[in-house]
Amino acid sequence: MIIGYKTYLDLIPEYLEGKEVISSEMMKEVDRCRESLEIASQGRQVALVSGGDPGIYAMAGLVYEMAKESEFPCRIEIIPGLAAINSCAARLGAPLMHDFAAVSLSDLLTPWDVIEKRLKAAAEADFVTAIYNPKSKKRTEQIVRTREIFLTCRDPQTPVGIVTAATRENEKIVITTLDKMLDNEITMQSTLIIGNSQTYSWNDLMITPRGYKKKYEL
């Protein structure tokens, strides 16, 4: 039995052949999780399909939280996958060669002051920083504030990568700078990677050296 959001299942027809499929257009993720747990509790094997890596800002937590709350008697296994940080990094060159942080700008479940504190910490401690959920129709000012925070302690010329719809047909990749990043289209499907103080751009790629000491010979 395979359960998933229709948009994702449409991407993997080869895995659906001959299988019972519940493809939901409208069902919310909480409902999909409950349905999966209920069916699995009857002794069936269920694959709940998640976008990206279910273990990074995704479905794994909800599944476990619900299994715990409702004491569903089933065994759960998380199959890791490629999260946005993995696929976006690959498309942008080699931005994540050194310590990095990931921060979601969605303040639906997290107070903005917690998010802002993290942005400041990541900026000040020179983390390469991946920005998840940078913008939506309603959420437009958070990315403006993010840029301001990084500009207080990072050079305006710091490379910034914007990957929209990574690996999809409408994929779009932009290498820009902290200074100019807001001049580019940023959507709900975008992930940003802001370089650290050592990151440079080369041939439309962004590259973070592996260290601050020049100990390795090329």
Can you give the binding site for its own copies, defined by CB under 8 A? 30, 53-58, 60-66, 68-70, 78-83, 85-87, 89-91, 93-104, 108-111, 114-115, 117-118, 120-122, 124-127, 202-203, 205, 207-213, 215-218
3-class DSSP state of 139: coil
Instruction: Please say whether the beta carbons of 128 and 194 come within 8 A.
Output: yes
Question: Shortest distance, CB of residue 32 to its own copies, whole angstroms?
Answer: 13
Quick check: 131 and 105 in contact, CB under 8 A?
yes
Give the span between the Cα atoms of 24 and 18, in whole angstroms: 18
Amino acid (one-letter) located at 124:
E
DSSP 24: E
Minimum CB distance to its own copies smaller for 102 or for 178: 102
At closest approach, how far in Å is the CB of 107 from its own copies? Answer: 9
Residue among 18 and 111 whose Cβ is closer to its own copies = 111
Q: For residues 4 and 95, which CB has a smaller minimum distance to its own copies in the complex?
A: 95
Smallest gap from Cβ 182 to its own copies, in A, equals: 22
d(CA 119, CA 70): 35
Shortest Cβ 178–its own copies spacing (Å): 19
Side-chain half-sphere exposure of 50, counting CA atoms within 13 A = 23
- Indicate the residue among 33 and 39 with the shorter CB distance to its own copies: 33
Sign of the C-alpha dihedral computed for residues 209, 214, 215 and 218 taken in this order? positive
Residues 6+ apart with CB under 8 A from 67: 37, 74, 76
Tell me how far, at minimum, the Cβ of 86 lies from its own copies, in Å.
4
Q: How far is the CB of 183 from its own copies (least distance, A)?
A: 26
- Output phi, psi for 112, to 5 deg: -60, -35
Q: How far is CA 78 from CA 5, 46, 83, in A?
A: 17, 12, 14
> Based on CB atoms, which residue is closest to its own copies, 81 or 179?
81
Our CB check for its own copies shows the closer of 1 and 101 to be 101
Report how far residue 38's alpha carbon sits from residue 30's, in angstroms, rounded to the nearest whole number. 12
